[in-house]
Structure 1
């Protein structure tokens, strides 16, 4: 027999009223029966919460926080009351309420009625870390924009005004009262889902992509407490925390089966790496996934909503085995299935056996585990999650997008942004037709604490004075109230709203935060009938940006021809102006209507912004190929430069603003003379067969030079003054820089004016001598999966020279001089996707970063961690040797030492020499062969670069140069390719097969086998050729022992080497032709 429990949450009147109700009256009024919560489950969850919160720091609480929240809300909306008003309201009595209230007023308000609220600061374990960020090179200072695809959560409690939102790969707790934030950093990819418990103490977040994870955060300390690493390669698309924070639900897609969703439940506090139970659903049968909700009183009950079905899940333990019970509800009439529509959202109605689902047709389906006849016989019984269709009623004429159960109310949000409040009998209590001054709401989230009834001044009947005030503000855009009106006849709804009686009846509900269709976040205050903007989405459609060199201004360009100036210290847009595109379009193309969206889009799309060195002018590149030169103060047009029809990629000014150049997507380079008020056109050229990777200015003896780097692996030099004199662009030097990799960006070396740094896609940094125009040094760049695509120097005062670099979604610092030391650079995942724009402000103090999305983040730069990291790495070859230990494909340090010693004795006994003495140097001529023995097989071009680097500027022969062990380690680490990816191998073989079999050249396509004769023929004609001496060196280990003929020929070569000492020592050994023929 099931145990009947009596609830403490119901008054005797309510229980009596339910006992006397009949099935007929229920069916007539649509009444929902309130049933008690499960006492056993409540005690277990309460015990769990107590154990969980023992580890948390005790936060000071007050018995009257609900009442104090009203006062705090008054201050927030600039309607604060002074201490005198408080004394007057309390009668000046020294009550317990007063003793608790005045400490709050001391912290929250000023005595002089200043409307400033200073709530308690959020405490967390890493307070010192976040205040000075000693161990982090980047600290988030501002964020402009957020991800509207992730639902904004309300974390507002008593004395705490916060919301939870995401921007890229960051989770942000934003205090909308003090306009401060706490960032939760830990994800590498774009965050797609967040969730909180009922008290707002715990946060769950998930991302999708490589190295995805699910992280549980302590919201008070802002610190991760549990991480579920990549348990699914596709990432977790949805997370949901139970109200008691004990359970976690994750939704993932199966690999290679995107139509299969796996629903998993975790008891995450146990620290397991696998879920406790999982179940799979097929989206072809169930429709796309919508939401998951927990039962507030019994967290083991879940409801999963898909488009076509609602599923009730029960997580239970039977015989020490955890199980997940599936229940498909029945009772829906199949004839009216189209009338019901698709399901959108489901929620358990608190303190009852009911669950409710909103549909696309505006209907609400009620689910229950009790039948109609059950209420007359047994009004109270233990709850069960095997629910079936109980009732369906038409609640709205529009689609119900969201549905909530808040306290004793049911709240719905429809597709038009209207918010309906019902009691648990589904009688309308209150309607918000529109938010004053805002666009329609698409999401709402209620406060975590219930508002006190005494603190609410929102009444169903209003005085005439209040009505006049409301009429002056605009009645049509404010909230409207009705009293116990059923929603059966929607046509009468608006009439009854206007005709309600003056009988006063209190309507009380929690305040909430709403997100609008334009991305604005607003705070709706019921006690004052007010709407306040928390965050405005003013920067919609941002495509590029640049910072003013001398002011705290961030200039932003959009996709509609609009330019904005954003003051990042005041956090506001100070100027907004449109480019005069209509006049240009009308002059060149005639009258253009709004229907010509493609032309308007191309003409108004801003692709690049660049200030002059002094900041007096702003160059604006467009997708149409035009370049606008504007005045920086008011954005007035100075001149329009239409020299190409392809989108502008980058604009660069010379050091003294005397010249500027830009290039487009079709590899056109345009050079302009900027010495006069209006720039003069010099010339246009297409120097590369493939797109240009980067351009840069440099100066030698007050003569400007321009350099371009193309994806065709060529590096081109232009003498700017000569081009200006001739009136066209003339190429001065043109040579190929790479054979395998491609150059990605250029930047002048801060330590030498005669050197240009070139970063490659393989992660190397080449030093180009601008006088001799050759590569004289190669070092290892930042070890990141993608090459460096952007580099700029930070002119920090009284600090060591550093470079800011960008690689895909990573942003980092590189300390100068650049020597390949792995302890001299550090990076940070600044955005979740690829970084498109970077701008440095305040001479390197701040950096702005924009990804492919529209989110912009502002970071404060601190190089102290970089100095500490360099000191930690050590000196000499110690930092480089750590890379060998970290790479599983690299040889061990012991192997390198043995091979280094072997190189010293390799030639012993072959010719007369002095007595052998062990040392820490070897000949430079042995380094290439040693590198091949260590697994680095370089090309002839790379070997030439290596030999030139070892010889340097000295006039010594390669046989006379000696290399120490530390130098050997550094050179090996700087030159070797860390690892070759599988995709690179496939691409190489695909290119090879393209030459042999032109019809099969696509990666991923099954290619038939290539005949061995064709393969050898291809290698013989296109591969590197070796003379017999080199062949013997590479195959020396296979030719054992030496024959007499080999010894005779070897003596001849030794005599020849003595006569010609400049010959490389590798020619001392040689393979006789006769022996080679025998070997082959």
Structure 2
């Protein structure tokens, strides 16, 4: 990662500026960013695998602590100068950390867990210990504690608050105690409001303040009367002394600087008060949005006595003295960050980012430009080399941008919106090319793309409809003309793309949906209000396709590559739509969601790469794909989900959009590193041996060899007495039997795909069919086609949940319904086939072949097969009594692989 666009508005920004540097710390997804706003550079602190939930720093800004929440959570302490992690606390709490704080001297950390029953822990991170000094569990009735702070004058005291409860802590001698004072509307006969943040008042011992959602400040102090001896500094028992009404609007931020108490509110105002909560000065003209962060620069020798000629504003007192404060950072709930220079009251907007989901990203075809759009209606075009915004446009708040696309010339930009409208704009100014947006879709526009000649624009929407627009230049009065729309899918459209005819270079338009259908549209014969279809091909049986792309010309045959929910990449002939190859895809936690061929500035037939995203990762894959797992890599891109992918025009960078985290990341591509990692994985069959149970020397491989050579004998006749011809290949007709003996049970369609894959593998080069397969190619075929994680009992359980009825033992299917389903649905069986298979499985016909019984015994007039089967099947009974598998409970389910089955030569 080389740059992060956007920020996490839920984690307050921290001003890291001192006399030597101009920095601000904020977070983007799972990365903390140190942004030098004077030089426009970023230093990225990467180490978390979950969204960062909290940050804090030492008083001198030397040490930074970051924490996340979720599985495998961590607290990492960084040196802010070298950006090197110096300490890591692994799994500090179950579920991670929701908030934390650091003592001014940076010796101790306090963390609050994100679990429903929260735990507060004190850590001495400077030691080798991985256990807290002390901790305490909080009562869930106190609400979710979202803010905590050390007393800067006494680190043994802390204060935290939820929206409904303030808690005071005291720790000494390895024991953490806390006290939750009561306060409600009846205490002062006034509405208190919900708590936002709490602080300790400087130079007042145990006094603390809490801001509320109705503009109040709650003043807390020790229960002991002030006339008595002063309270001990570690006395955590507090009570509400008074409720001070400061304003009508909610106070969202409460902090201190020097001798002032500072508040920020939902109106975007920043106000300064003295120790007696008397207003000294305020800023109400920022107009940045509701304040959620206030942080002042670090200047230990700050001088408040300045010359009268200085440009500091006057305060609000009668004397109108110079109001001298340090420069500070203002962060808002609308993802805006401003830097305020107190001398002159100058506001510099450092960041103006998206405060809603970012799904729409695309790159310019010839220039280093990135276009980003979000649900907030903000559209921005960045120069990603110079890291500066070239142009932006803010649409009305209801215009949520869902997708964007440049045309091949880079002069036109199309944007699809959640309300179904489509805008065509000038890519340089973002001015509308068409007077009114197109409003033909009935639901949100999810995809948009241009043809290679820029003559066509196509969009897909959430109503399963594809719309096509044609340029009207030279033919029509309007710049773009609506051509038509077609609802060719009955489920969500996952991918939409233009291509070129191989011979005529005319544009082709294809769409792919979750209904497993690939549709091609007949643009040549379509007229105005008459969009026609050219073909509809069902490309999957059980898997759900997720994306498609044009396969680069690394082979002589022209292909379309798709990815599906079963971790497979498939290559389809662009003309016949025949599945020509099935390959094991990347298996990094989730199936591939979107692919993009990485552009190259060299020869189009040289070594190429595929960029892809999964649920939360971004990765690269070396082409041509062959199932070698070492050809792929992946990194966590956005822990809460990757929404979109784009590649730079020169292939040097990959961009990912994070959806709900409101950010986008820029990744630098190092192809040499990926090639080196692939080389370390071995050549030829070595990577594939590693995917077999036990590897090359394991029992499974020896079993595979036995089946392979037995298939040779079988093809020559088991009972033949002539001399055997031993070779290194077997006929293609034997492939399905060896596959089943190894524990992989393909459907008839999958068998056809496997045989066609081998049969036509050299046809383009030689014009000849392949009729035999050797052991090495068979291993590749087996690994690429078998289920990526074996047979899962969960799949069988889901089938019964969908097809069955509720019973005492779980979802069940009655015998008649099961036999009917097997003969009428999916790859349905004939009555004879059903009799043969079931009698073999249940032991009535153990030798296999045609069943002599058949489904019916006409002499007795009874159904012998049905009598041998129970009246009802559950997933467990069907697996045990018919399939002969042991089915685990869903909570402990694990895949059944070939190594767990006892296969013999008779299985062939």
- The normalised TM-score by structure 2 is 0.80
Partner of 1:745: 547
Q: Give runs of aligned pairs for residues 512-911 of structure 1, distance below 5 A.
A: 512-516=328-332, 518-526=334-342, 528-533=343-348, 535-537=350-352, 544-557=360-373, 564-576=380-392, 604-634=399-429, 635-638=431-434, 641-674=438-471, 676-677=473-474, 678-679=479-480, 682-696=483-497, 697-702=499-504, 703-723=506-526, 728-751=530-553, 752=555, 754-798=558-602, 800-853=607-660, 854-884=662-692, 894-906=698-710, 910-911=718-719
| d(CA) in 1 for partners of 2:462, 2:253 | 45
Residues 1:442 and 1:608: Cα distance change in structure 2 (over 3 Å)? closer
2:98·2:146 contact (CA, 8 Å) conserved in 1? no
Q: Report the 3-state secondary structure (helix = DSSP H, G, I; strand = E; otherwise coil) of the residue aligned with 2:352.
A: coil
| d(CA) in 2 for partners of 1:1029, 1:206 | 60
| d(CA) in 1 for partners of 2:70, 2:257 | 35
2:642·2:659 contact (CA, 8 Å) conserved in 1? yes
| d(CA) in 2 for partners of 1:251, 1:163 | 24
| d(CA) in 1 for partners of 2:60, 2:726 | 71
2:100·2:109 contact (CA, 8 Å) conserved in 1? yes
Partner of 2:152: 296
| d(CA) in 1 for partners of 2:473, 2:271 | 65
Unaligned residue ranges in structure 2 (runs of 5+): 858-863, 869-908
Q: Report the 3-state secondary structure (helix = DSSP H, G, I; strand = E; otherwise coil) of the residue aligned with 2:491.
A: coil
Task: Map Cα deviations across residues 832-856 of structure 1 (whole Å, 9 max, x no partner).
Answer: 3333343333432334332224323
Partner of 1:962: 773
Partner of 1:944: 752
Q: Give runs of aligned pairs for residues 472-511 of structure 1, distance below 5 A.
A: 479-481=313-315, 497=317, 499-500=318-319, 509-511=325-327
1:293·1:304 contact (CA, 8 Å) conserved in 2? yes
Are positions 1:151 and 2:12 aligned together? yes
| d(CA) in 1 for partners of 2:232, 2:792 | 60
Q: 2:801 aligns with which of 990, 1005, 1008?
A: 990
Could you say which structure has the higher helix fraction? 1
Are positions 1:928 and 2:736 aligned together? yes
Q: Give runs of aligned pairs for residues 82-101 of structure 1, distance below 5 A.
A: none
Q: Cα distance, 1:967 vs. partner? A: 4.2
Unaligned residue ranges in structure 1 (runs of 5+): 1-138, 471-477, 483-496, 580-599, 1047-1068
Residues 1:985 and 1:785: Cα distance change in structure 2 (over 3 Å)? farther
Q: Cα distance, 1:412 vs. partner? A: 4.3
2:201·2:207 contact (CA, 8 Å) conserved in 1? yes
Judge which range, 435-444 or 613-622, deviates more.
Answer: 435-444
Q: Report the 3-state secondary structure (helix = DSSP H, G, I; strand = E; otherwise coil) of the residue aligned with 2:113.
A: strand
Partner of 1:58: none
| d(CA) in 2 for partners of 1:252, 1:788 | 33
| d(CA) in 2 for partners of 1:968, 1:414 | 66
Paired residues, what number? 832
Q: Cα distance, 1:182 vs. partner? A: 0.7
| d(CA) in 1 for partners of 2:341, 2:460 | 53
Judge which range, 206-215 or 1028-1037, deviates more.
Answer: 1028-1037
| d(CA) in 2 for partners of 1:571, 1:905 | 62
Q: Cα distance, 1:152 vs. partner? A: 0.8
Q: Cα distance, 1:818 vs. partner? A: 1.7
Are positions 1:191 and 2:52 aligned together? yes
Q: Cα distance, 1:242 vs. partner? A: 3.4
| d(CA) in 2 for partners of 1:800, 1:682 | 39
| d(CA) in 1 for partners of 2:593, 2:85 | 32
| d(CA) in 2 for partners of 1:221, 1:1028 | 74
Q: Cα distance, 1:221 vs. partner? A: 2.8
Q: Report the 3-state secondary structure (helix = DSSP H, G, I; strand = E; otherwise coil) of the residue aligned with 2:501.
A: strand
Partner of 1:117: none
Are positions 1:346 and 2:198 aligned together? yes
Judge which range, 440-449 or 866-875, deviates more.
Answer: 440-449
Q: Report the 3-state secondary structure (helix = DSSP H, G, I; strand = E; otherwise coil) of the residue aligned with 1:1073.
A: coil
Q: Cα distance, 1:565 vs. partner? A: 4.1
| d(CA) in 2 for partners of 1:235, 1:832 | 14
| d(CA) in 2 for partners of 1:515, 1:1041 | 76
Could you say which structure has the higher strand fraction? 2
Residues 1:989 and 1:352: Cα distance change in structure 2 (over 3 Å)? same
Q: Cα distance, 1:299 vs. partner? A: 3.0
Q: 2:783 aligns with which of 953, 972, 985?
A: 972
2:801·2:811 contact (CA, 8 Å) conserved in 1? no
Q: Report the 3-state secondary structure (helix = DSSP H, G, I; strand = E; otherwise coil) of the residue aligned with 1:300.
A: strand
Partner of 2:901: none
| d(CA) in 1 for partners of 2:651, 2:534 | 34
Partner of 1:279: 136
Q: Cα distance, 1:613 vs. partner? A: 1.1
Q: Report the 3-state secondary structure (helix = DSSP H, G, I; strand = E; otherwise coil) of the residue aligned with 1:988.
A: helix
Judge which range, 400-409 or 181-190, deviates more.
Answer: 400-409
Partner of 1:451: 301
Please, what is the CA RMSD of the aligned residues?
A: 4.2
Q: Give runs of aligned pairs for residues 71-86 of structure 1, distance below 5 A.
A: none
2:707·2:741 contact (CA, 8 Å) conserved in 1? no
Larger Rg: 1
Task: Map Cα deviations across residues 274-317 of structure 1 (whole Å, 9 max, x no partner).
Answer: 6554433334x324424211233543332222344432323344
Q: Give runs of aligned pairs for residues 182-221 of structure 1, distance below 5 A.
A: 182-221=43-82
Task: Map Cα deviations across residues 75-105 of structure 1 (whole Å, 9 max, x no partner).
Answer: xxxxxxxxxxxxxxxxxxxxxxxxxxxxxxx
Q: Cα distance, 1:570 vs. partner? A: 4.7
Task: Map Cα deviations across residues 1015-1039 of structure 1 (whole Å, 9 max, x no partner).
Answer: 6545654575489899989998998
| d(CA) in 1 for partners of 2:235, 2:222 | 8
| d(CA) in 2 for partners of 1:667, 1:741 | 19
Residues 1:397 and 1:735: Cα distance change in structure 2 (over 3 Å)? closer
Q: Cα distance, 1:642 vs. partner? A: 5.0
| d(CA) in 2 for partners of 1:185, 1:1070 | 61
| d(CA) in 2 for partners of 1:388, 1:232 | 28
2:516·2:540 contact (CA, 8 Å) conserved in 1? yes
Q: Give runs of aligned pairs for residues 5-404 of structure 1, distance below 5 A.
A: 139-141=1-3, 143-230=4-91, 234-254=95-115, 258=116, 260-268=117-125, 275=132, 277-283=134-140, 285-317=141-173, 322-329=174-181, 335-336=187-188, 338=190, 342-350=194-202, 353-360=205-212, 361-368=215-222, 371-375=225-229, 383-389=233-239, 391-392=241-242, 394=244, 396-398=246-248, 400-404=251-255
| d(CA) in 2 for partners of 1:415, 1:172 | 26
